[in-house]
Amino acid sequence: MSRRALNHYRRLYLCTYDVADDKRRNKLFEALKDRGEHVQFSVFLCELNESERARLVALSREIIHQDDDQLLILDIGDVTVDLTQNLHCIGKEWTPQVRSHIF
């Protein structure tokens, strides 16, 4: 598989954060909002290829304070995974957004 093909291979990531400062929290929120679906207060689902993930990690390191804040990025798997098969939702129903990507 060529390097170019790998760059477009998309994976689903669950991103959740705990940021102590309002200004830093707002910056991180905006960075994640631009890259994924806001599903709960501090939780996003992001469909990213490897270079997008690396840019998100680099930007996040610039925003958060290493000793005070935290961003967790969990690789859920290929974007074709049907989350509704493994997700148990209690309370208000959650329906994944249908997203399209322009290459």
Reading the chain (103 residues) residue by residue, the pLDDT tens digits are: 444 445 569 999 999 999 999 999 999 999 999 999 999 999 999 999 999 999 999 999 999 999 999 999 999 999 888 877 777 778 887 777 766 555 5
Q: What is the pTM of this model?
A: 0.80
Residue with tokens 């598989």: 1
Distance between CA 21 and CA 65 in Å, rounded? 9
Bridge partners, 17 (sequence order): 71
Q: Which two tokens stand for residue 5?
A: 């093909």
CB of 35 closer than 8 Å to CB of 79? no
Question: For position 52, what pLDDT does the model report?
Answer: 96
CB of 43 closer than 8 Å to CB of 15? yes
Delineate the domains of the chain, giving CATH numbers in brackets: 9-86 (3.30.70.240)
CB of 13 closer than 8 Å to CB of 63? no
